[in-house]
Structure 1
Amino acid sequence: MRDLGAGFRYLLQGQRWMARNSRQYGFGLLPGLITLVLYAAALVGLAVWGDDLVTWSTPFADGWSGPWRGLFRGFLTAVLFALGLLLAVLTFTAVTLLIGQPFYENLSEKVDRDASPDGTAPESDLPLWRELWVSARDSLRILVRAGLWGVLLFALGFLPFVGQTVVPVVGFFVTGFFLTEELTAVALQRRGVHLRERLALLRSRKPLVWGFGTPLGLAFLVPLVAVFLMPGAVAGATLMARGLMGEETAGDGDGDGGGDGDRGAVTLPPPPPGSPAPGR
């Protein structure tokens, strides 16, 4: 429970940091707005032409008589749209971070400097094009994992009772984990922590990850909320990354330059035995 609460406090601290550094906020909205427009266009296209796509892909049903052909294809069209919507929720963060990589990298560095006792931030040794390539490659790997989970959970959703009760809850926790991975990747990648190490680190602190990512995933279900919360989510994930790496934090990073003592700082519970040690 302490880890769950700590994760949620990181989420709140990130939003508070963003509110107190409003000059950064406007630019942070642009990547989310661009992604929202792209996803909305894709979902509208799926709604308009989804029936044609299903008809084209099921020629074996052309000879079916009665209402069965229409019912079958209508069901597949609904399934196709629901799957597209689920994948949109799972992948929105990854695509937004990829589009806004330069801004979010800069934002994460500012949060690091604000939270660091000496006002410094870890810097990547890679050129920008290399950072973009690594980010795109890792995002693709995460999207594949998230897509597989999405297909599995969608299929399990047809199970009686379990599909309507247990599966949605599991789906929110899975979404929360992948959201947190993508958001903390901005700060952890800058520290030289590779994808496999990031996943191992986050898996060792699942309650902390769920406390941060699951409420955020629920909020992202509300139209436009993801766009407005994304900059603060990156800020909160940077603060979480500092805690996961065992770095000293001067405060909660909610000032406008410089720390403010230990007021409001999140103290992480000790990691469970056998978890990966923080470090490069």
Structure 2
Amino acid sequence: MPNARAVPARAREVAVGVRTVAAGLRAWARAPRLLGLGVLPGLLVGAVLGIGLGVLAVNVGAVGRGLAGALGLDDGWLGDVAAVTASVAVLAASSLVAVALFATLTLTVGQPFFEAVSRRVDARLDAEPEGEPWWPALLRGIGEGIVTLAISIGVSLLLLGIGLLPVVGSVTAFTIGVLVGGRLLAIELTAYPMARRGIVARRDRVRALRPYRLRLVAFGAAVFLIFLLPLGAVLAMPAAVAGATLLVRDLPLAPPTPSDGAHGTGPDTPA
């Protein structure tokens, strides 16, 4: 049975994560021109991904019927239910990959814009920390994006299997997708401000954020849900970077020691 004091503390952590998203969105009012520039990379990436998602949306019914047929459930009302369930499962699984791919490509293409957004948040509140050089940051971002995308694809296949379960499968798959996708998204978004604080490698970032996992997941899940809205990902990406910077600022983080593998770039361990 959980400690009675632990429940309010956990609830506060979740609330702080969600409030940080709102604080990031309010950054639009303080720097509309800068955050407006941050929309440009999202528009470019969103236009490309939108074509693929549009094709999937048009054909998701046929995909669902195909999966139902592969399971031997293609006749009568049971076949109709199985086809709808499979279609929802495909959408739930593909949403995780789509958000991860969008975030990875947008953060890579728009690295100078989002670094500027994050720096602006830091500089507005106090002295600006020293940043990571542009070229190493770009290479690191590409490598970490590949790791995030690989994890997302693996989890999406699991979600597809869960989503095929009748009644509860779709809801369960969507919920897991939001939580896992939110965590992965938050880890990506915190890269800029944490690199300026000496925490560069992804594994070190995950290790440093582990004590604050509830706050991290709540922040990422809220951003993930916004990204699922029409044009939400494009418009909210700069604000999400600003929110991630505020999230990092509120945490007592210390740079990793050399023995921690500060220069590693491998995948993270579960937080």
Assess same fold via TM > 0.5. Answer: yes
Larger Rg: 1
Considering Cα pairs closer than 8 Å and 6+ residues apart, tell me whether 1 or 2 has the greater RCO: 1
Say whether the 8 Å CA contact 1:109–1:122 is kept in structure 2.
no
Sequence identity percentage? 35
**Residue matched to 2:37:** 27
Deviation digits for residues 27-78 of structure 1 (CA, Å, limit 9, x no counterpart): 011011111101012234556799999xxxxxxx9xxxx98xxx9xx99x95
| Residue 137 (str. 1) matches residue 143 (str. 2) | yes
Distance (Å, rounded) in 2 between the aligned partners of 1:132 and 1:152: 30
Would the alpha carbon gap of residues 166 and 85 (structure 1) be closer, same or farther in structure 2, given more than 3 Å must change? closer
Q: Any idea what SS the aligned residue of 1:131 has? A: helix
What number of residue pairs does the alignment pair up?
A: 235
**5+ residue gaps in structure 2?**
1-10, 64-69, 257-271
Distance (Å, rounded) in 2 between the aligned partners of 1:164 and 1:41: 25
Following TM superposition, by how much is the alpha carbon of 1:205 offset from its aligned partner in structure 2, in angstroms? Answer: 1.4
Q: What amino acid maps onto 2:150 in structure 1?
A: V
Following TM superposition, by how much is the alpha carbon of 1:111 offset from its aligned partner in structure 2, in angstroms? Answer: 0.9
Say whether the 8 Å CA contact 1:94–1:139 is kept in structure 2.
yes
Distance (Å, rounded) in 2 between the aligned partners of 1:80 and 1:7: 29
TM-score, structure 1 as length reference: 0.72
| Residue 120 (str. 1) matches residue 152 (str. 2) | no
What is the root-mean-square deviation in Å for CA atoms of aligned residues? 3.2
**5+ residue gaps in structure 1?**
54-60, 247-276
The structure 2 residue matched to 1:189, chosen from 189, 195, 199, is 195
5-14 vs 96-105, greater mean Cα deviation: 5-14
Q: What amino acid maps onto 1:151 in structure 2?
A: L
Q: Any idea what SS the aligned residue of 2:49 has? A: helix
| Residue 175 (str. 1) matches residue 181 (str. 2) | yes
Would the alpha carbon gap of residues 14 and 48 (structure 1) be closer, same or farther in structure 2, given more than 3 Å must change? closer
Distance (Å, rounded) in 2 between the aligned partners of 1:99 and 1:115: 27
Q: Any idea what SS the aligned residue of 1:205 has? A: helix
Distance (Å, rounded) in 1 between the aligned partners of 2:48 and 2:187: 23
Question: Which structure has more helix as a fraction of its residues?
Answer: 2
Q: Any idea what SS the aligned residue of 1:192 has? A: coil
Say whether the 8 Å CA contact 2:20–2:243 is kept in structure 1.
yes
Say whether the 8 Å CA contact 1:18–1:235 is kept in structure 2.
no
Deviation digits for residues 83-135 of structure 1 (CA, Å, limit 9, x no counterpart): 4444112322222111111110111111111122xx222322x3x22221111
**Residue matched to 2:254:** 278
Distance (Å, rounded) in 1 between the aligned partners of 2:61 and 2:162: 24
Following TM superposition, by how much is the alpha carbon of 1:80 offset from its aligned partner in structure 2, in angstroms? Answer: 6.3
Q: What amino acid maps onto 2:164 in structure 1?
A: F
Distance (Å, rounded) in 2 between the aligned partners of 1:16 and 1:84: 30
| Residue 93 (str. 1) matches residue 100 (str. 2) | no
Following TM superposition, by how much is the alpha carbon of 1:233 offset from its aligned partner in structure 2, in angstroms? Answer: 0.9
